[in-house]
Chain A
Amino acid sequence: MSRVPAFMALGVALTSVGACCPVRTGQLTGRWVAIAGENGQGAGIATKPALAQPLALTAPSEACFSNQQLREHFGPGCEENEAEAAASPDLTDDPTQGNQPTPGEVHWYCDRRTVVRVVLARCPGTNTFRVRQLAVSIAAEGR
């Protein structure tokens, strides 16, 4: 699976936009964003975009954040998303012994035109995560 090559930012612009609603202005300044790209990962309040450069966060940015924070800022995920495939099953392992924290999680967000898959990696020894990858699909109108 390829990493997203370019800088990407995902803000609360994911809020549902219905046909009856006023046109939304594209703005990330001052919003909580999760970012991943060639300059690294982070989450926090976005500074003003400048000179077509990667978006910066106001200090201190949070490298690791909780699911509670994610929910507070991004709201609920998709009601339904495609199932993730598994590697070939290994029936000889033993998941019951000892703590085996998930190495990462996936979150899906949907609105009328946009589907976002966010892959998180666990920050070791904690219940917090950092962004590993953002993947965005935006449907063209009428498709």
Chain B
Amino acid sequence: MTTFDQALSSFRALLEPDGIAVQPTGVAAKVVGPRFSEPIFAVPDVHLCDGKGGDIFLKGNPGKAGKLAATLRAIYRYRNNHTSRAIQLGDWFDIWRVCGKDPMNMAFGAIENAAVFTEILDWDSALGLPHVIGNHDAAFLNAIPNRRAAQPNFFRPGFWVGNNVYALHGHQTTVSPPAGKTFDQVVVHAATVLGQFVPGATWIQQFIDQQHVAEDVKQWLKETFTGQHEDVDANHRAKNPTAPPDPILSGDFVVRENQQQLLSLVAQVEAFPASNGRAADLVLVAHSHVPCVSWSRIGTRPVVIADAGAWTYDKAHLLIAAGDTVAVFNIV
């Protein structure tokens, strides 16, 4: 069993030769017992654009590409020697920004062709990094990047990461349910897309059309998974003054927006046969670009929700979960 400190120490040692440090953000939570038996590395929103002036990942700093490539290489090298898991939490590409504000546009060659991203995409391919599909790269629902074309199963709206961690982008709660319906009344249909859709097997629009649901629910699903989404204001989250329940020990907890709806989605995914009885102790999300930890419940089971932050503008976050701790770090 790898402890959190052991995983962090080993990972830091892999980045030190590149002059890159792994610094705490203060966003962390601790739980009773070694809940995360295999270390997990989660890369949040990256938003690779076309490498030009408007690229919100580079923000005019080509060195940022080297930092992300080094981080992915370090994860690759760690995984060569340690049993561990890795996931990217969506908005890997920013197709919305590059392709005329259409997140479903499949003409994202400008992102794949950006020379400055070659090494990043080399390590993405070498890792076989699984990507949650977000709202800025929703076109991946219909067409994944060419360099990953052999691995359509590595691009999904949601992933189990081991037996007790579930990952999704987190934008699925931002579109209001159809008129006259509550989120709880339609959540199972969103969970069906989360848990059962794989790119390339069919088109997302066709997958939704084949669901046996009312037309207004189909429209809501299409808006949820393929439409544009307003960014959330995540900079003013209230602290959660309530002491967390067992087995959650401690953390700098806030009340994250839509946290109960996120857990409702995960509860539905847990019930699918393909989940094989797995139940989440930890849910990984991104989307907001602001890291945080919060907690809520699925039934009576306490669940930690960890938002891993982003690589946009000046940010460069990485979430690590191992042993009894989940924490978000700055890569500097």
Whether chain B is bound by chain A comes out as yes
CB distance B107 to A102 under 8 Å? no
CB distance from A107 to the nearest CB of B (A): 6
Q: Is the C-beta of B160 less than 8 angstroms from some C-beta in chain A?
A: yes
Q: Is the C-beta of A79 less than 8 angstroms from some C-beta in chain B?
A: yes
Q: Is the C-beta of A85 less than 8 angstroms from some C-beta in chain B?
A: yes
Q: Is the C-beta of B162 less than 8 angstroms from some C-beta in chain A?
A: yes
CB distance A96 to B162 under 8 Å? yes
Q: Is the C-beta of B219 less than 8 angstroms from some C-beta in chain A?
A: no
| Interface 1/0 per residue, B73-93 and A, CB below 8 Å | 000100110011111000000
Q: B108: which A residues are within 8 A, CB to CB?
A: 80
Q: Is the C-beta of A127 less than 8 angstroms from some C-beta in chain B?
A: yes
Which of A92, A103, A104 sits near B276, CB closer than 8 Å? A92
In the bound complex, CA of A7 to CA of B49 (Å): 38
CB distance A95 to B128 under 8 Å? yes
| Contact (A101, B126) CB under 8 Å given A96-B87, A96-B159 | yes
Count A interface residues, CB 8 Å: 37
CB under 8 Å from chain B, chain A span 27-48: none
In the bound complex, CA of A85 to CA of B80 (Å): 30
CB distance A127 to B106 under 8 Å? no
Q: A104: which B residues are within 8 A, CB to CB?
A: 150
CB distance B146 to A99 under 8 Å? no
CB distance from B206 to the nearest CB of A (A): 13
Q: B201: which A residues are within 8 A, CB to CB?
A: 85-89
In the bound complex, CA of A78 to CA of B123 (Å): 22
CB under 8 Å from chain A, chain B span 119-174: 119, 121-123, 125-128, 130, 142-144, 146-154, 159-162
Contact-residue bracket for chain B: 35 or more
In the bound complex, CA of A40 to CA of B150 (Å): 22
Q: Is the C-beta of B109 less than 8 angstroms from some C-beta in chain A?
A: yes
Q: Is the C-beta of B32 less than 8 angstroms from some C-beta in chain A?
A: no
Which residue, A84, A104, A106, has most C-beta atoms of chain B within 10 A? A84
CB distance B148 to A68 under 8 Å? no
| Interface 1/0 per residue, B20-59 and A, CB below 8 Å | 0000000000000000001010000000000000000000
In the bound complex, CA of A91 to CA of B160 (Å): 10
CB distance A93 to B153 under 8 Å? yes
Interface pick from B10-18, B191-199, B232-240, B312-320: B191-199
Q: A94: which B residues are within 8 A, CB to CB?
A: 160, 162
CB distance A81 to B146 under 8 Å? yes
Q: A141: which B residues are within 8 A, CB to CB?
A: none
Interface pick from B110-118, B241-249, B286-294: B110-118
Q: B159: which A residues are within 8 A, CB to CB?
A: 95-96
CB distance A103 to B84 under 8 Å? no
Q: Is the C-beta of B200 less than 8 angstroms from some C-beta in chain A?
A: yes
In the bound complex, CA of A96 to CA of B159 (Å): 8
Q: A86: which B residues are within 8 A, CB to CB?
A: 152-153, 198-201
Which residue, B86, B110, B150, B159, has most C-beta atoms of chain A within 10 A? B150
CB distance B85 to A79 under 8 Å? no
CB distance A99 to B143 under 8 Å? no
| Contact (A127, B148) CB under 8 Å given A89-B153, A97-B83 | no
A-B contact pairs, 28 of them (CB 8 A): A68-B119, A71-B115, A79-B110, A83-B144, A84-B149, A84-B152, A87-B152, A89-B152, A89-B196, A91-B195, A92-B276, A94-B162, A96-B159, A97-B84, A97-B85, A98-B84, A98-B85, A99-B128, A101-B127, A102-B125, A102-B150, A103-B150, A105-B149, A106-B147, A107-B147, A127-B122, A127-B123, A127-B125
